[in-house]
Structure 1
Amino acid sequence: MEEKNRAHHWAEEAAKLAEESILTEAVLTPKPGLVDAKDSGSHKDMDIFTFLRSAVSLREGFKEMFLSGYHGGADLKELLKSLRPKGMDIEARMFEATKDINTHKGIIFSMGLLLAALGNHMSRSDYQKNQLPTFTEKDTEEVFQIIRSMTKGIIQSDFKNLNEKTLLTHGERLYKEYGFTGIRGEAEKGYPVLREKVLPVLREGGYKEQSYDSRLLDMLMILMSEVEDSNIVSRGGMESLQYVRRSADRFMKDGGMRNPTALEKLHEMNQDFVKRNLSPGGSADLLSLAVFLGKMENIL
């Protein structure tokens, strides 16, 4: 009974941290093309209040994701199967909260995987306290490895027989047209942009003299310069993806948020992206994961 209660404490804490991470990304300002506390970016059907309602609707489902991982055992492929209906339930709650506006479908997938992997990792831990532990780099890498094992073959499985289908989903169409694997591809590879780019920069500690929001905005720009963002491709094609990547890369090469004119540059980038109808939503989702893991490792 004590172990069961401890698992529920961990699940509560993990779901609360996931909610905090998503809310942190939502209110971070200014974010080019994205909904933030100042404007709606390239989105005409939602604003920051839509995002807040959406974010707080996810917590109970995220708790269930953690517990699914904790009780899921060693068969990680079966664990992934068990998560799909739970993910659909969370989506339904999101759509109810937002009146059918898709605010967080991408992060439900990625944060759900992360929480289930965290639960699975904690089920094998001899940690005895009710609060979640502070993660080491090794702990984080083990969670990424669980995600890789869970999602191995997901691209081949989810995108098979596309030529036989007449009605394609958003992700299927991009895969068929561009070979674009999107967030599934990121998951199957264990989120390399987080492992190899974002988290190492945060661990270096060179950002500690910067304000919290400046650190996060630089992390967002690193993500935008690297991620195969299906949100951008669906709005403007591959040329737009390359444009966003170049814009973010140039921002970082100019000093990122350390540049005295950084905020002005971000406002100009926002106006430009709105004009082009571009929104790097995939990068925003990955920023939420980075915040979650940064807080787990106590580097944010």
Structure 2
Amino acid sequence: MEVKSNWMILAEACSKLAEEAILTEALLTPKPGLVDAKDSGAHKDMDIFTFVRSAVSLREGFKEMFLSGATSPVSRNGLLAVIRPIGIRMEQEMFEATKGINTHKGIIFSMGLLLAALGRLMKEEQIDGDRMPALNPKDTERIFSVIMGITEGLVSKDFANIHQKRVLTNGEKLYLEHGFAGIRGEAEKGYPVLRDEVLPYLRHRKEKLSYEESLLEVLFLLMRHVEDSNIVTRGGIESLHYVRKEAEKFLAGGGMKQKDAYEKIQIMNETFIRRNLSPGGAADLLSLAIVLGKLEKLI
């Protein structure tokens, strides 16, 4: 009988948690402009079943991301070169599962970083055992610090020769035109919106909301703050201002504590669909928030 190492057991637990978080985000309903269990939002090429197939295809790769952080001998900053090929392979597996549709390219990057950082932290702290320990806020802060170490200099490196390129990706165009660093910039800064907005909300919330309502509240917190390149690519910089304003108005009105919260979200969803807007960057960070919230026993 095969005896699994503690690292392998922890890697499997982390990859399952990541999968659960991604599926939870996808199934959360209603979400403005995003794919959920009711409709496809502003996306004409995918539905909830596309997301399920995609999420399931990522589990093995996420396991490798954690193991790379936990067992690789390289420094923190050298770890990115180790996990990037894994991410590229995961993207290929995602496209095979979705028949060429990009459902989770952003989350492969962000969740992969989070799991690699978690593995590295456990290695550095010499945490032993075959069960994932509950984290406290200081532990989570150390995870963000590891992520910053892994991604140090990432934006400047990735965009170093951007002026010499003839064909630019959407992310490169946004960086050139608006200075948007996108998800690379969020990672290099240690995901400040999670650290400074979302996790403090989850730790100190007093209102009685259901699991679903709490996650929707987090989604709107993220929509209010995230520099969401998905929105700008679809509708321009003015659309980002519009989405942030709508999220701010919803939260100022009481968020999910409003009696008509679901009705307001549905109206917003119809407007986002009409304007072809999808806050995908906020959705990706919601998945990370679910993982961290569960690790801290907050949700």
Assess same fold via TM > 0.5: yes
Q: Which residue does the alignment assign to 1:255?
A: 254
Q: Deviations over 1:22-69 (max 9, x none)?
A: 000000000000000000000000000000000010000000000000
- TM-score normalized with structure 2 length: 0.97
Cα deviation, residue 163, structure 1: 1.3
Are 2:113 and 1:76 aligned?
A: no
Deviates most, 121-130 or 275-284: 121-130
Gaps of 5+ in 2: none
Let me know the Cα RMSD of the aligned residues. 1.1
Deviations 1:181-222 (A, max 9, x none): 110010000000000000001001424x21100000000000
Pairs within 5 Å for 1:63-142: 63-73=63-73, 75-142=75-142
- Give the Cα separation in 2 of the matches to 1:25 and 1:298: 18
Q: CA deviation at 1:155?
A: 0.6
Alignment-derived partner of residue 197 in structure 1: 197
Give 1:83 deviation, angstroms: 1.0
State the partner residue of 2:238: 239
Matches within 5 A, 1:34-53: 34-53=34-53
Instruction: Please report how far the alpha carbon of residue 82 of structure 1 lies from its aligned counterpart in structure 2 after TM superposition.
Output: 1.1
Aligned AA for 1:260? K
Partner SS, residue 26 of structure 1: helix
Measured in 2, the distance between the counterparts of 1:242 and 1:124 equals 41
Q: CA deviation at 1:129?
A: 2.5
- Structure 1 CA distance, aligned partners of 2:131 and 2:97? 29
Q: Give secondary structure in 1 for the equivalent of 2:32.
A: coil
Corresponding position of 1:183: 183
- CA offset at residue 6 of structure 1? 0.5
| Deviation per residue, 1:65-96 (Å, 9 max, x gap) | 00000012351121111111110001011000
Distance across 2 between alignment mates of 1:254 and 1:35: 25
8 Å contact from structure 1 (residues 217, 257) kept in 2: yes
Letter aligned with residue 240 of structure 2: L
Specify the alignment match of 2:17 in structure 1. 17
Contact 1:73-1:120 within 8 A present in 2 as well? no
Q: Aligned partners of 1:198 and 1:233: how far apart in 2?
A: 22
Q: Deviations over 1:217-264 (max 9, x none)?
A: 000000000000000000011100000000001000000000001000
The answer for the alignment partner of 1:174 in structure 2 is 174
**Structure 1 stretches lacking a partner, 5+ long:** none
User: 2-side partners of 1:185 and 1:7: how far apart?
Assistant: 30
Match for 2:110: what amino acid? S
Count of residue correspondences:
297
Q: Distance in 2 between matches of 1:127 and 1:81?
A: 24
Note the C-alpha offset of 1:110: 0.2
